[in-house]
Amino acid sequence: MGEMEEKIKQLMKRKERVKQAGGPEALEKLIYKKGMLGARERIEALMDKSSFVEMDMLATHHCTFFGMDKKEIPADGVITGYGKIDGRLVFIYPQDFTVLRGSYGEMHGRKICKIIDKAAQVGAPVVGICHSGGLRLHEVLGPMEMFGQLFYRNSIYSGVIPQISLVMGTVAGGQAYSLGLTDFIIMTEGSFIYVAGPAFVRTQIGEETVEEELGGAVMHSEVSGVADLVAKDEIDCFKKTRQLLSFLPSNNNSFPPIIDSGDNVEHRETKLNNLVPVNSKVPFDMKELIRLVLDQRDFFEVKPKYAQNMITDFGRLNGRSVGIVASQPLVLAGVIDVKAAEKAARFVRFCDCFNIPIVTLQDTPGYMIGTKEEKKGMIFRGAKLLYAYAEATVPKIAVIVRKAFAGAYIAMGSKYIGADQVFAWPIAEIASVAPETAASIIFKKEIEGASNPEKVREERLREYYEKFINPYNAASRQDIDDVIEPSETRPVLIRAIELLASKKEEKPRRKHGNIPL
């Protein structure tokens, strides 16, 4: 027994040394002074109490180059394992910046790849808490191989298990590409993501820049669109992560949890009858409409500061998760530009991957036109939205609140590209082009030949509106299923979601489509 006790003591000592990571001084200097939590503290803050189980705690590097044989790297700079969040299984890998700045070495990468494989095997989400100085150059090609292995796993398990990246501090180099392959990126204020830092950029291309401009949270959430959310601090980041996971299933073969909100299924919100101006040129806040429709007036918005003319968020209808895609008339009148099309397309495809019904709320005058958008590749990039909706097999329900013109009408969840049910409010304006444009072309000769062209133009435009630009014309063609009172929107959507809960749709067999990327 004495010999066994000694072996156990040695084991405990070894594990305790691993838990100390870079040591108290490194923790104070690199983490606490910057208002951050240590890697293990981050696990405790995110996961259910005492639920975390660590894997490969004793793994470390095997490099002997450049003096590495004399370096001890506890856990090789990354903690990997699994536990529970709100009682559901989740895998996690926080990088430890106190250990060689969280650099990505060969065993570091092997540990991450192993738990991603395990997560896919058992069907559970993966959350990466990313804080790394980048590739560990001392190990030459070993880390490069494992970057490739990580990218491969991010890709093949995309649409199989949810992959979420939390950025706390700096993530530099090749690992930035891994973040781009995951489903959601949440950054804390003061964190950074870039392929190459300011010093590297200065050396290689002679450009002077600073971290905030190159890869700060504000830039990535408002300009590049890389970040889905920005949290004010780490605790807020973990709160947002738990909220996000609550709307998602564990994998592509399951469904999101149904959560009883206690909200009245048949509640008719009379405020909706007076929320939206009848004049379609007068803007209103679509987010207020969304609040009045969803359970407990609560939703979780994704990319709230990027392409704000398009809203993408998660919410619940009678406890069931739904993905909301909506025009925002307050920004660019709700027109769809390149950024809005790509933002919505990515969100639609994610919902389709994970069995989340899509609810579309439309009030858009069309796709953005003009030389600027054409030069950005509107035809190619705007088509992503069409592709995403047409490809999706989850329940698709649309409500035309007001304007629904031209290609944007088709793109945003129309019957023409596979919507299951489409409803319209009585003030809806549905047309192949903006009414003024159509009337000016159709009645051009009559208007130009009239003694009072303006009067004739107004008369013909009014006649055109009354006959064609209303929901009843669309209903007569079965392009929409019903015209509903605005206050009925919530119960109508709930009934549609319940009707389509067991929907099954098979697309033509293929290896995969070729979305216009």
Active site residues: 173-174, 407-408
Q: What are phi and psi of 321, to 5 degrees?
A: -65, 140
Q: How far is CA 489 from CA 1, 63, 367, 411, in A?
A: 72, 63, 26, 21
Task: Pull the structure tokens for residue 222.
Answer: 């408002």
How, if at all, do strands 310-317 and 229-231 pair?
Answer: unpaired
* DSSP code of residue 74: G
- Residues in a beta bridge with 128: 93, 165
Q: Which residues contact 403 (CB under 8 A, 6 or more apart)?
A: 280, 327, 334, 362, 363, 364, 365, 429
Task: Pull the structure tokens for residue 218.
Answer: 């504000």
Residue 397 near residue 420 (C-beta atoms within 8 A)? yes
- Strand ranges for 189-282 from DSSP E: 192-194, 229-231
The greatest distance separating any two alpha carbons of the chain, rounded to the nearest whole angstrom, comes to 113
Say how far residue 66 (Cα) sits from the centre of its chain: 42
Matching residue, tokens 């989850």: 394
Please give the single-letter amino acid code of residue 409: Y
Asked whether the CA dihedral 202, 206, 208, 211 is positive or negative, the reply is negative
Residue 284 near residue 275 (C-beta atoms within 8 A)? yes
Say how far residue 177 (Cα) sits from the centre of its chain: 16
- Strand ranges for 445-514 from DSSP E: 482-483
Task: Pull the structure tokens for residue 101.
Answer: 């700045």
CA 461 – CA 466 distance, rounded (Å) = 9
Neighbours of 166 (CB within 10 A): 27
CA 511 – CA 517 distance, rounded (Å) = 17
Per-residue 3-state assignment (H helix, E strand, C coil) for 252-278: CCCCCCCCCCCCCCCCCCHHHHHCCCC
Task: Pull the structure tokens for residue 91.
Answer: 């895998």
- Strand ranges for 305-464 from DSSP E: 310-317, 320-327, 358-364, 396-405, 421-424, 429-431
CA 138 – CA 158 distance, rounded (Å) = 31
What 3-state class would DSSP assign to 164? strand
Q: What are phi and psi of 404, to 5 degrees?
A: -150, 90
Matching residue, tokens 């489509």: 513
How, if at all, do strands 320-327 and 310-317 pair?
Answer: antiparallel
Helix (H) or strand (E) holding 466: helix 453-468
